[in-house]
Amino acid sequence: MSPQQGTVSRLWRRRPFAVTKAGQLWRLVRESHQQPLQGESKPVSLVTPQELGITFIGHSSFFLQIGGRNILIDPVFATNLVVLRRQRRPGVLPEQLPAIDLVLITHAHMDHLNIASLRKVIRATRRLRGRGPEVVVPHGVDDLVSQLGFRHTYTMKWWQQIEAAGLRITMTPCRHWGARMFNDTHRGYGGYVLQKDSHSVYHSGDTAYFNGFAEIGSRLAPAVALLPIGAYFPDTYRTVHTSPEEAVRGFVEMGSHWMVPMHYGTFRLGREPMDEPLQRLQAEAARLGISDKIRVLAEGETMHL
């Protein structure tokens, strides 16, 4: 290497963090537009008030039917997140859903809090019921949803419990971050456990592996755990995201009956191949002899309990 090449190499290694992130984002954006959208949206499968229904919309978005209530968690129906395009269509569209009682947002990142999607949900529920749904957000996120038309906004912190839409809701810790841009680091983040009668569901939000899974299990004992398995490579991403093996470890430590994977296959957020997270999840579950506890839902598919 010549002295000039060495100088360029050292300058490249010292390039600003923002420049590095911009380069990574541009590569993801470019790749996200290379393949046509896959999958189809379809009408949702409805359950009785005594049943629990869990419908996978895509990415980290779910429609829950619990205790006779209709709940959305991190609903994202948009094809594009600014310039990043989704790879698979949402399994259900807002106009195909019944009136929504409550929306829960785990954090302010754009692949979890999508303003356009929230407006569609509010409009659809108003047409059906004449009023908008309620919304639950972490502390410091309420300003992002306050003018959208929700009937009431609840803000929560870790381990806080509220009663909303007839459900007991507990906000749970996680290992992630909550800023929507870069400097609004005051915004909170977390997961939720929803409980009604004999039914309980845990949505972790985005998280790295941490010992909090065992504590959530001992405190709240959720029967179903919705856990993220994608965007774990390169390894530095695992400071805020679980690998498939780490998600299984958290599930086992929590002691839940079923695990439903999420946060994979919809947006190209990590550098791992798009089909790798499920393959690694299923291999780890088989190694541990718990394949019957893993419920992989296709977009639009509903798990009935």
pLDDT in tens, 235-267: 999 999 999 999 999 999 999 999 999 999 999
**Residue 161 and residue 31 in contact, taking contact as beta carbons nearer than 8 Å:** no
How many CA atoms, within 13 angstroms, populate the side-chain half-sphere of residue 103?
33
Q: Where are the beta strands (DSSP E) in the chain?
A: 53-58, 61-66, 69-73, 80-81, 84-85, 102-104, 134-138, 153-156, 161-164, 167-172, 191-196, 199-203, 224-228, 258-262, 302-304
pLDDT confidence of residue 48: 94
- Residue at token pair 């079923």: 258
Residue 105 pLDDT class (50, 70, 90 cuts): very high
- For position 33, what pLDDT does the model report? 58
Q: Give dist(CA 286, CA 76) in Å, integer.
A: 31
Which of the pair, 269 or 182, is modelled with greater confidence?
269
What is the model's pLDDT at position 270?
A: 94
The pLDDT score that the predictor gives to residue 144 is 98
Q: What is the pLDDT of residue 96?
A: 95
pLDDT reported for residue 18: 56
What is the pTM for the complete model shown? 0.89
Q: Indicate the residue type of 211.
A: N
pLDDT-wise least confident of 1-5, 33-37, 186-190, 226-230: 1-5
Average pLDDT on 215-229 reads 98
pLDDT band at 8 (very low <50, low <70, confident <90, very high): very low
Closest CA to 247 of 257, 237, 255, 259: 259
Burial of 124 (0-12, 13-18, 19+ CB in 10 A): buried
Q: State the average pLDDT for the chain.
A: 92
Residue 12 has pLDDT above 50, yes or no: no
What integer pLDDT is reported at residue 159 of this predicted model? Answer: 98
pLDDT reading at 156 higher than 90: yes
- Residues 223 and 119: their CA atoms lie apart, in Å, by 31
As a whole number of angstroms, the distance between CA 264 and CA 279 comes to 11
Topology (CATH level 3) of domain 35-304: Metallo-beta-lactamase; Chain A (3.60.15)
* 90 — pLDDT class (breaks 50, 70, 90): very high
**CB 180: neighbour CB atoms within 10 A?**
17
